[in-house]
Every structure is written in structure tokens, then in C-alpha cells.
Amino acid sequence: LAKTTQPVSMDSYEGQEVNITCSHNNIATNDYITWYQQFPSQGPRFIIQGYKTKVTNEVASLFIPADRKSSTLSLPRVSLSDTAVYYCLVARAGSQGNLIFGKGTKLSVKP
């Protein structure tokens, strides 16, 4: 099972781009990388998922290098409302038992 490692916390200012990196050295061929956002007193919410190279949606981009041993969540022009905990998850296709969340990165956005 691919364990994940993320920074415990990060600080940023409004309007900046924030990049959060997750390490998953033991990722397997059929593992996918997913990022979730969690606000206090709420359940995690899906942000983005990818397998390789780059994925972009309306809220974030996900960069995955060729060796797939890490991934970087990029949040463009953060606002105060992006203050939350961000979790990196490695999930194996077709295998519901292989779901390991990282310990999360607490992002604090300041004015």
C-alpha cells in the first residue's frame, strides 16, 4: 500500500498560488492520486484526481511527474475561504480496501 507524506502546514497570502506536494514512493501501477479539502466541522470534499502528467479543473491543477512518486496540488490565487486541511489519497482501481489518506496539510491563507 502506498503511504503518503505531506507537509503538516503551510501559510500563504490572498492572491498567491499555493503548491502542496504529496510523496507516495510506493505507488503501484493501478493507483490513482486524489486530493480532498476539509473545512472545520465538515466532511472532506473532492477536489481533483489524476493518474499521470497534469489534470486541471475549475478549482485546481494536479501535477504528477513521470515516476508518479509524488504529486503537487496547485491552487491558483487563493482566498481566505481556501483556508482548510488538504488531504492526499492514493486509491487503487477496483480495490475498495486500499484507501490511505495522508495526515493532511493545514493551509492558512492570510489577508
Partner 1 sequence: DTAVSQTPKYLVTQMGNDKSIKCEQNLGHDTMYWYKQDSKKFLKIMFSYNNKELIINETVPNRFSPKSPDKAHLNLHINSLELGDSAVYFCASSQEPPYEQYFGPGTRLTVT
| Contact residues: partner 1, CB under 8 A | 31-32, 34, 36, 41-46, 49, 85, 87, 91-101, 103-104
Residues 6+ apart with CB under 8 A from 90: 1, 2, 4, 24, 27, 31, 32, 33, 34, 98, 100
Which one, 80 or 93, has the nearer CB to partner 1? 93
Residues 6+ apart with CB under 8 A from 45: 36, 37, 38, 39
Work out how close the CB of 8 gets to partner 1 at its nearest, in angstroms, rounded to a whole number. 10
The answer to whether residues 38 and 45 touch, using CB atoms and an 8 Å cutoff, is yes
Question: Collapsing DSSP states into helix, strand and coil, what is residue 97?
Answer: coil
Which one, 75 or 91, has the nearer CB to partner 1? 91
Which one, 94 or 111, has the nearer CB to partner 1? 94
Work out how close the CB of 15 gets to partner 1 at its nearest, in angstroms, rounded to a whole number. 27
The answer to whether residues 43 and 61 touch, using CB atoms and an 8 Å cutoff, is no
Work out how close the CB of 103 gets to partner 1 at its nearest, in angstroms, rounded to a whole number. 6
Work out how close the CB of 59 gets to partner 1 at its nearest, in angstroms, rounded to a whole number. 13
Which one, 16 or 106, has the nearer CB to partner 1? 106
